[in-house]
Every structure is written in structure tokens, then in C-alpha cells.
Amino acid sequence: MSAIEIAARVRSGEISAVAVAREAIATIRAKNDAINAVTRILEDRALAEARAVDDIVAAGRDPGPLAGVPYGVKDLFDVAGLPTTAGAGMRRNAAPAVADAEAISRLRAAGAVLVATLNMDEFAYGFVTVNAAFGTTRNPRDVSRLAGGSSGGSAAAVAAGMLPLALGSDTNGSIRVPAALCGIYGLRPTQDALPTQGTFPFVESFDTIGPFATSIADLDAAWRALGGVGQPHGSPRVARLSGWFDRTLSHDAARLLDSQFAGLERVEWADVERARSAAFLMTAREGGLRHLPELRTRALEFDPATRDRLIAGALLPETAYRAAQAFRAEFRACILPLFDRQDVLVAPCIGEGAPLIDDPFLTFGGERVPARANLGLLAQPISFIGLPVIAAPLRHAGPLPLGIQLIGRPGGEADLFTYATGLEAQGIIGCATAA
């Protein structure tokens, strides 16, 4: 069932929230060994929250728009009474969180039921969810392939049908990349539009949170429950981002995009590759400096693949970081006026299907590059300037999912949802959960 269907049936009393929670827990137990998306099942908490929803229904009151909907959160959201690991083995025994993250509190107020915490790249630094402490999350569409990251557990849990909704975070593409590789929807909202209080930070310049779902209606409901607001501006004006974005595409991806969006005006952004490089640099330095005290005293406790990148970032000169910040302001000033002519821009999310776990590389510019650092090549220039993006799966992609980015002006989420709803109705985008 979709999240919206679950909520409607729970509110009407047709099914109980407790029954829905028990079914979600059973599904996780049946499927998670093959996928490794879930790090902790929160059975006692889930059943207590579900009983509270059922009590509200029994009293004749409305428990909220997400009544009884089970969901999970990336393991960098504070869950009261549990350590927030941020995907790091060295934080397994951290002091328990004293309160829930604000996003969790908002979903609970909307009637949703927290069932699980979900796997991620250590400290959110990666696009693969290959984790030395908590294992690799496998792609439900093909378990020999990467689920993407760093919110890979969130995307995989939804794609596998374990949960109808999940929360992740997106710094440089960590919602959009796994959504695209797993063939589901994900939302990176406008920078600072949704609350990040109570989430373990990575790069404050770019960090956001957002939901995953298997339909645009469910994604919209989760966004609004989290605090998303806005109305569309009539019929959205749409164009397609080309240039650098097209040069990254595989032959099959280029052919599919050309066939589905043939009539759109082409728009090319200047300095996109430079924007990606500047985002990469800012990420490395902010992330490295954040973890510098532990790198000096507990370096061997880090995941080696994360540790070396953090050390390299901490060694970057401040002058380079300041130059990247200055370019960010210039790039933003050049790009935002383009939205005077368009409301939505369509771009690929990743130029090819999910890489193999045993061969974690992708092709870029005719060269093989590591997936961990480079799956966000097409995502980073967008989040560099804080724009909202819906990642949506193309319906006719073939055996491996391919995702697109629907990009809007700051605060333009409602236009994105309007356009995405139309594409879904036409059968251009859409997903089905894995078996």
C-alpha cells in the first residue's frame, strides 16, 4: 500500500496502525538480510506509536495526514534514547540522543510511525553506502549492484518494499543518487527549507534533509508533513539542461532522455564543471575540519575509505576554500535569473545504471572513475547553490533504473510537484517496488 492509502485506511478504522507496524517489521525481517538497508528495528517504539494512533482514531479524532504510515530514518537523525551513529562504528557507544530530531517530531505529529534506522556511508561522506562497520547496502533491483549513497539504506528500504517512506539527507546528491539508482523518488528541498535540528552534520554549507517514496503523491505528503509549503505558479515552464550534463550520459541514457523530452528547449549553464569542483573542495574542507579532533586522536577507528578523504580535506588551504565560496556567490548570481524564463529544468541524475559492488566505477568523459566520490557529478552543481530537486525514475529505462532531476528555483517545490505529477500521469516517470 502507498503511504496515502495506509493513512486513509487507518483514519477510517479499516485497518489498525498496530497491524501496519507489525507487517512492516515482518517485511523488514524477511527482506533485510539480502539488502542490508536497516541497521536497527525499533519494534517497541513503533508499536507504542502505532497504539497511540489507534487510540486517537478510537476517540473519533484525526491522527494526522500520515496516520499509521511506517517509515525509517537514515542513521544520522537523533532518535531519543539511542546513539546517533552517523554510520560510524566509532559512534556505536556514543551517548544516547536526549530527544528526537525535529523532522521525526514533525512526522510523529502527522501520525507516522518510526520503525527503523537505516544504513549510510560513514559520516555521509560517499555515494555508495559501502560501510566498514555496518556493511554494504545492496540495490534491490539487482543485489550485485550499489544502492548509491550516502542515504543508500533509506532508498533501498523503500525500493525493496520494506517501508513506504524514509528520510535521508542530501549534501551533494545523497538523496538523489540512491533514489536514481534504486528507481524511486527522492526530494532534496530548497536549502534550509526543512529542519536539520537533531541531525549529525556533515557540511553545513550544503546539508539538507528530505523524503523518499514510490509515488509523487506520497513524496508530496511527506514533504508537507515535514513543513514544506508553497503553491504552484500555474502551468510550469520547462526546459532541459544540456551541455556538460549531456556529455556525461551513456548511449542508452541519452537516447531515452531525447525520446521522452524531445520538445523541450535546451539550456546550458556556464561553469558547471567549475561549480562541481568548488562544491567538492568546500565539502572536503568543511568535512575534514569537522572531524579533525578525532582524526588526531582516533584515526584508526574511522572507516579507512572515509578517513583518508577527511584527512586530505583538512589539509586544504583556507585560501582555496574562500575562493570556492566566492565563486559560489558568482555562480548563484548567474544561474538564478534563468528562472525568470523557466520554472523547472530537467537534467539527468546519473549518466548510467548502478555500478557493480565488485567493480565500483563509472564512466565519465571516456574514463573510469571511482563511484564513491563521483556518482554525484551531475547532482553537486545543483545543490552547490541550494536549489530544490525531485529525483524521479524514468519509467522505460530498462533493466537498471535511470533517474532524472527536476530542478526548481529556491522555494519552487510546488512547481516541481505539479510537473512531476503530470509526467507520472503520462507514464514518463514512475517506479515499482522490487520483489
Q: What is the DSSP annotation of 114-153? A: EEEEE--SGGG--SS-EETTTEEPEETTEEEEE--SSSHH
Tens place of pLDDT for every residue, the chain, 435 residues? Answer: 999 999 999 999 999 999 999 999 999 999 999 999 999 999 999 999 999 999 999 999 999 999 999 999 999 999 999 999 999 999 999 999 999 999 999 999 999 999 999 999 999 999 999 999 999 999 999 999 999 999 999 999 999 999 999 999 999 999 999 999 999 999 999 999 999 999 999 999 999 999 999 999 999 999 999 999 988 888 999 999 999 998 888 888 999 999 999 999 999 999 999 999 999 999 999 999 999 999 999 999 999 999 999 999 999 999 999 999 999 999 999 999 999 999 999 999 999 999 999 999 998 878 899 999 999 999 999 999 999 999 999 998 989 999 999 999 999 999 999 999 999 999 999 986 554
Which cell numbers hold the place of 410? Answer: 529556491
Which cell numbers hold the place of 42? Answer: 525499533
Q: How far, in Å, CA of 1 to CA of 215, rounded?
A: 11
Q: How far, in Å, CA of 371 to CA of 352, rounded?
A: 11
Does residue 142 contact residue 130 with C-beta atoms inside 8 Å? no
Bridge partners, residue 213, by sequence: 185
Catalytic residue, chosen from 16, 31, 74, 151, is 74
Give me the count of residues in the chain: 435
Does residue 252 contact residue 280 with C-beta atoms inside 8 Å? no
What is the structure's pLDDT at 432? 66
Catalytic residue, chosen from 16, 151, 154, 174, is 174
Identify whether residues 216 and 274 lie together within a single domain. Answer: no
**Mean pLDDT taken over the chain:** 96
Q: Is residue 47 part of a domain?
A: yes
Identify whether residues 59 and 171 lie together within a single domain. Answer: yes
Q: Is residue 74 flagged as an active site residue?
A: yes
- Find the CATH number of the domain harbouring 253: 3.90.1300.10
Q: In which domain, by residue range, is 211 found?
A: 3-226
Q: What is the DSSP annotation of 290-357? A: HTHHHHHH-GGGS-HHHHHHHHHHHTS-HHHHHHHHHHHHHHHHHHGGGGGT-SEEEEES-SSSPPBT
What is the structure's pLDDT at 158? 98
Among residues 226, 261, 281, which one ends one of the domains? 226
Q: Is residue 365 part of a domain?
A: yes
Please give the model's pTM, rounded to 2 decimal places. Answer: 0.97
What is the structure's pLDDT at 364? 83
Q: Is residue 427 part of a domain?
A: no
Q: Is residue 150 flagged as an active site residue?
A: yes
Identify whether residues 182 and 96 lie together within a single domain. Answer: yes
Does residue 162 contact residue 214 with C-beta atoms inside 8 Å? no
Identify whether residues 353 and 258 lie together within a single domain. Answer: yes
Number of domains in the chain: 2
Q: Is residue 434 part of a domain?
A: no
Residue that the C-alpha cell 512492516 belongs to: 24
What is the structure's pLDDT at 433? 57
Among residues 164, 191, 226, which one ends one of the domains? 226
Identify whether residues 311 and 257 lie together within a single domain. Answer: yes
Q: Using one digit for the tens of pLDDT, what is the confidence trace for 23-80?
A: 999 999 999 999 999 999 999 999 999 999 999 999 999 999 999 999 999 999 999 9
Identify whether residues 94 and 58 lie together within a single domain. Answer: yes
Catalytic residue, chosen from 150, 154, 205, 383, is 150
What is the structure's pLDDT at 247? 84
Identify whether residues 211 and 328 lie together within a single domain. Answer: no
Identify whether residues 154 and 273 lie together within a single domain. Answer: no
Q: Is residue 374 part of a domain?
A: yes
What is the structure's pLDDT at 63? 98
Which cell numbers hold the place of 271? Answer: 561553469
Identify whether residues 258 and 126 lie together within a single domain. Answer: no
Q: Is residue 416 part of a domain?
A: no
What is the structure's pLDDT at 434? 56
- The sign one gets for the Cα dihedral 204, 205, 206, 210 is positive
Identify whether residues 63 and 212 lie together within a single domain. Answer: yes
Q: Is residue 174 flagged as an active site residue?
A: yes
Identify whether residues 294 and 201 lie together within a single domain. Answer: no
Residue that the C-alpha cell 518494499 belongs to: 161
Q: Is residue 419 part of a domain?
A: no
**Cα separations in angstroms, 407 against 99, 184, 190, 387:** 34, 17, 10, 7
Among residues 226, 257, 272, which one ends one of the domains? 226
Strands 361-364 and 344-348: what pairing? unpaired
Q: Is residue 376 part of a domain?
A: yes
Identify whether residues 257 and 164 lie together within a single domain. Answer: no
